[in-house]
Structure 1
Amino acid sequence: MRREVFLRMLEHVQTVNPYFRQSQDCAGRPGFSPHQKLTCALQMLATACSADSLDESFHMPESTTIENLGQFCRTIVTIYQERYLRAPTTEDLDMLLQRAERRGFPRMIGSLDCMHWQRKNCPVGWQGSFSGKTRKPTIVLEVVAGPDTWIWHAFFRIPGAHNDLTVLGRSPLFDVVTASQSPQLNYHVNGSPYEFGYYLADGIYPKWATLVQSIRQPENEQEEYFSTKQEAYRKDVERAFVIL
């Protein structure tokens, strides 16, 4: 993490949550510094290490480490949810459309895909419905990500035994379209009029006007060119999964 990013985050968490400000105990000794608390929380999130494994590095007991991580996660949500955990505004949508058009996909608003997140402490009685092709209990995460890996749609609750198509059937992604609240983007493709933006997806998704898949077996140079560009652009959502 860049130093300026760390310091900006440190300033924000101290402003919002007094827990991250240094205090004194009953004997007047200084407690853990804000730098210790923030670094410890980031270390746990980045490496998935246990709380007791950080005792030597930060001299922080296990119970305090767990409490610190919880405080950090809740504080981050409080600070950044209005900026990141939301649907795109009109300005955001214009930015997404402009970037997509520069890359050859006018009226495209994101890449759609799913990943399986392992449910480590899944109850034994539930593991059958949560276990799919990996034979391990997972929960499916459906996201739409933009070119800067901003995940502006996330649906995370379906057991891992379901595939991407089943998840889409339960997802609220197209609720705004069915409720006629989606912004209209009038355009024509091959002489056919369309009113809504579309997402790039893989072959398992249905043949809807709002979903554009690659061509599995291109038969000419034009189709091969399209498939290459579509698959390259869909790496935006794959990069977002890698970061997660």
Structure 2
Amino acid sequence: MMHANLMNNYFNPNLVYIEEDFRHHLRIRHHVFERLLHDVQHVDPYFRQKLDRKGYPGFSPHQKVIVALRMMAYASPVDSMDETFGMSESTCLDTFAEFCNTIIQLYKEEYLREPNQKDLNRLLCKAEDRGFTGMIGSLDCMHWNWKKCHTGWQEGFSGRSRKPTIVLEAIALYDTWIWHAFFGVLGSQNDITIFGRSPLFNNLTEVKSPQLDYYINGRQYNMGYYFADDIYPKWATLVQAIPNPANDAKKWFTLQQEAYRNDVCLYHT
């Protein structure tokens, strides 16, 4: 019954919800969902439909993948899934864990890695087209409320909001590829404290970072740089926003930088 409702709502020819509704409800485009659905079934038998001990069909691949996506997209509590999808709490947790492990197995070589030289060339060309020679990504942090944080940990994970949060430091590119992600640990309540513990520049200090070669205003540079907020330290590898641009050149730079960062769609509170 639950599977039939999903199919009628999103997948059958006379579907109830259109593409825009699908993306709004599941936070994913329909064609991306279809790719995920196909790939996880191909590599992991868990996502293929099986018969239970009584010979009845178990949860369908669509149900399992949608439950995992909704748990991630909305932080939905597992006990709410029973009413909507007829899936018990333990099965929801098993499905969610299996989905995450399978996604890592499937896509880590393609997406969960640092840019190689081919990627860097593509990124540099794109950035140069936008007027930012040598720029290789946008650095920012997101703060997620941790509603069920252990009482003894709340002070160490609480910043100015006075509510415990998990902080994610990420570098995202114009096509929203996030190749660097670092979650804050106890005591890292803001962008600066997490930046100080992040391994982002480890390769740079060990002289392992890719060597670039470009010129700005006649001066040669051999390291790429990231866009960042003005809260970050004034390093050569971080180009910050200008809080109060005083002339036309600075206003133009600020406008172009904001436009590029908005393309990335990374927000923090």
The two structures have a TM-score, normalised by structure 1, of 0.90
1:168 aligns with 2:195: yes
Q: Per-residue displacement from partner, 1:56-111 (whole Å, max 9, x unpaired)?
A: 33222232222222211221121112211110111111111111011110110001
Of 57, 64, 82, which residue of structure 1 is paired with 2:84?
57
Residue 29 in structure 1 maps to residue 56 in structure 2? yes
How far apart, in 1, do the equivalents of 2:84 and 2:157 lie?
Answer: 36
Moved more, 213-222 or 144-153: 213-222
Once superposed, which parts of structure 1, at least 4 consecutive aligned residues long, lie more than 6 Å away?
A: none
Alignment of 1:18-97 (within 5 A): 18-97=45-124
The count of aligned residue pairs is 241
Give the conservation status (yes or no) of the 8 Å contact 2:165–2:189. no
Alpha-carbon separation, structure 2, partners of 1:197 and 1:39: 39
Alignment of 1:154 onto 2:196: no
Contact 2:188 2:194 in 1 (8 A): no
SS in 2 for 1:129: coil
Identical amino acids, percent of aligned pairs: 57
User: For 1:142 and 1:47, how far apart are their aligned partners in 2?
Assistant: 20
2-side partners of 1:78 and 1:224: how far apart?
A: 45
How far the C-alpha of 1:123 sits from its partner, in A, is: 1.9
Partner of 2:13 in structure 1? none
**1:94-243 equivalent positions in 2, closer than 5 A:** 94-159=121-186, 162-237=189-264, 239-241=265-267
Runs of at least 5 residues in structure 2 that lack an aligned partner in the other structure: 1-27
TM-score, normalised with respect to structure 2: 0.82
| Displacement of 1:183 | 1.5
How far apart are residue 29 of structure 1 and its match?
1.9
Q: CA RMSD in A?
A: 1.9
CA distance in 1, matches of 2:31, 2:216: 45
Partner letter of residue 133 of structure 2? P
1:41 is displaced (CA, Å) by: 2.0
Is the CA contact 1:88–1:152 (under 8 Å) kept in the aligned structure 2? yes
Seen in structure 2, the aligned counterparts of structure 1 residues 3 and 221 have a Cα distance that, compared at 3 Å, is closer
Equivalent residue, structure 2, for 1:13? 40
Whether the 8 Å CA contact 1:130–1:139 is kept in 2: the answer is yes
Q: Which runs of 5+ in 1 are unaligned?
A: none
Deviations 1:190-233 (A, max 9, x none): 34332101111111112111111122222221111111112222
Q: Deviations over 1:136-159 (max 9, x none)?
A: 111221111100111111111234
Q: 1:27 to 1:163 in 2, by over 3 A?
A: closer
